[in-house]
Amino acid sequence: MTIISEEKAQKLREANIAVPYVNETCIGCSACVAISPDVFELNEDGKSEVIALDNYEGFDVDDSISACPVDAISWRE
């Protein structure tokens, strides 16, 4: 799957589509991947990254945000 680029994320935000964001505090626990495997995947460093989609509604992203033990995931609008 393709990881979302900053350019694609910016275009979605400009279209008023919220995009999940994973910051540098990610510890790679994979809770977000277990909850929302269509939105998150672990990279080669074992850290979570956001998969490029056209919309993130209906993918339990809020549950992934809540489950993150280090608050590394948020919405960017």
The tens place of each residue's pLDDT in the chain, 77 residues long, gives: 799 999 999 999 999 999 999 999 999 999 999 999 999 999 999 999 999 999 999 999 999 999 999 999 999 87
Residue 65, phi then psi, degrees to nearest 5:
-60, -45
Count of beta carbons in the 10 Å neighbourhood of residue 3: 11
Q: Are residues 36 and 63 in contact, defined by beta-carbon separation less than 8 angstroms?
A: yes
Instruction: Look at residue 36 in the predicted model and tell me its pLDDT.
Output: 98
Longest dimension (CA), the chain: 31
pLDDT value of residue 42: 97
Assess if residue 53 is contained within a domain: yes
Which CATH number is 28's domain given? 3.30.70.20
- pLDDT for 12: 97
CA distance readout (Å), 31 to 8, 16, 52, 53:
25, 27, 19, 19
Query: For tokens 């809770």, what's the residue?
Result: 31
Q: Which domain holds residue 45?
A: 6-76
The total number of structural domains that make up the chain: 1
Q: How much is the pTM?
A: 0.93
